[in-house]
């Protein structure tokens, strides 16, 4: 149920209306004074400087692996690299603030050396880590998977003046929209400009709840903020299909395509080339109204 003057109303939102609304909004992000256009969806490549992320293929700990992954994201058409140093998978070990910073310092220095102009996102829920990443390495975006659980995070990102990804840990779309409305207003009151919303697939949700949120994803466009979707190789695919993360590329591609049709502006993924191809195919099928030529 979409927001309407602070209240919720039952309303069917067609894909055509969502696409028209998204086009009218003309989403952009201010990356150090340079406006990044989101009128066509973008792809964010994942780089995990961790030993225990749920998908083994994303774990990059040596200098060579981090450099190669950074360049691979660019070569395959990614717009952003998202660097994380604290695994949030169920059962992951606790990581101290100092260890998270040490891992990030190594990774961020390599990413900046390899691709100095690439927009750099840092995946952290700690305000002090966010400050370090921005002040020491010029991180462009803070990606917070905790819905602002650190009491200092909102004030910190507003002071740092970088775009902020606010991820929901709510179980359903109704509560997600309510939480987003409240917390976006809190951020606006602090002067935060660019806010990206992530419905938080895989965080605090059952299999059925994940798919219910995906089913209503287009309603999040009514918030007026760009939407990031991160479903790459996650349990909502693996549990449904009874497969391992290493086998989940096809399911990821299917859900990424659905998310794009429902208005996603950013796809956060392990497999950049395939996601970029999804973006191109959806754009061609939605925007090209000419009749196909049939070769005899």
Q: What distance lies between CA 110 and its chain's CA centroid? A: 22
Instruction: Find out whether 13 and 219 touch, Cβ atoms under 8 Å.
Output: yes
118 domain-assigned: yes
Sign of CA dihedral 237, 239, 241, 247: positive
pLDDT of residue 20: 52
147 domain-assigned: yes
pLDDT of residue 11: 40
pLDDT of residue 53: 56
> pTM value?
0.86
State the alpha helices, DSSP H only, in the chain.
Answer: 15-25, 63-75, 97-114, 127-137, 153-160, 173-189, 207-215, 235-241, 249-261, 272-287
Q: What distance lies between CA 280 and its chain's CA centroid? A: 18
pLDDT of residue 14: 47
Q: 188: domain CATH number?
A: 3.20.20.20
Q: What is the pLDDT of residues 101-129, one digit of tens each?
A: 999 999 999 999 999 999 999 999 999 99
Compute how many other C-beta atoms are within 10 angstroms of the C-beta atom of residue 12.
6
**How many domains does the chain fold into?**
1
Q: Which of 84-88, 235-239, 282-286 has the lowest mean pLDDT?
A: 84-88
How far is 87 from 26, CA to CA, in rounded Å?
A: 33
218 domain-assigned: yes
**What residues contact residue 72 under an 8 Å CB cut-off, 6+ apart?**
45, 272
59 domain-assigned: yes
pLDDT of 186 higher than 90 = yes
How far is 252 from 270, CA to CA, in rounded Å?
A: 10
104 domain-assigned: yes
How far is 169 from 176, CA to CA, in rounded Å?
A: 8
Mean pLDDT of 41-59: 75
Q: How much of the chain exceeds pLDDT 90, in percent?
A: 77
Secondary structure (DSSP) of 220-266:
GGGGSS-BEE--TT-HHHHHHHT--GGG-HHHHHHHHHHHHHTT-SE
17 domain-assigned: no
270 domain-assigned: yes
Q: Which residues are catalytic?
A: 234, 268
Full residue range of the structural domain in which residue 281 is found: 39-89+98-286
294 domain-assigned: no
């Amino acid at each position: 149920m979409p927001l309407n003057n602070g209240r919720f109303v039952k309303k069917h939102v067609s894909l055509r209306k969502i696409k028209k609304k998204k086009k009218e909004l003309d989403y952009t992000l201010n990356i150090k004074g340079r406006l990044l256009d989101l009128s066509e969806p973008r792809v964010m490549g994942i780089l995990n400087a961790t030993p225990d992320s749920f998908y083994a293929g994303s774990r990059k700990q040596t200098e060579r692996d981090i450099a190669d992954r950074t360049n691979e994201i660019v070569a395959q058409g990614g717009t952003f690299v998202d660097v994380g140093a604290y695994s949030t998978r169920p059962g992951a070990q606790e990581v101290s603030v100092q260890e998270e910073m040490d891992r990030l310092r190594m990774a961020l220095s390599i990413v900046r050396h390899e691709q100095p102009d690439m927009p750099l996102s840092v995946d952290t829920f700690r305000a002090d880590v966010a400050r370090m990443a921005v002040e020491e390495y010029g991180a462009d975006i803070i990606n917070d998977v905790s819905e602002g659980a650190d009491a200092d995070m909102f004030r910190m990102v507003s002071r740092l003046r970088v775009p902020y990804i606010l991820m929901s840990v709510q179980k359903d779309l109704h509560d997600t929209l309510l939480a987003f409305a409240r917390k976006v207003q809190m951020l606006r009151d602090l002067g935060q400009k660019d806010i990206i919303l992530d419905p938080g697939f895989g965080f605090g949700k059952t299999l059925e709840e994940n798919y219910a949120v995906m089913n209503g994803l287009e309603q999040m466009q009514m918030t007026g903020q760009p939407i990031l979707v991160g479903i790459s190789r996650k349990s909502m695919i693996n549990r449904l299909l009874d497969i391992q993360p290493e086998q989940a590329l096809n399911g990821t591609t299917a859900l990424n395509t659905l998310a794009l049709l429902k208005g996603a502006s950013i796809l956060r993924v392990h497999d950049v080339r395939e996601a970029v191809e999804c973006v191109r195919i959806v754009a061609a099928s939605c925007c090209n109204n000419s009749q196909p030529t049939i070769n005899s």
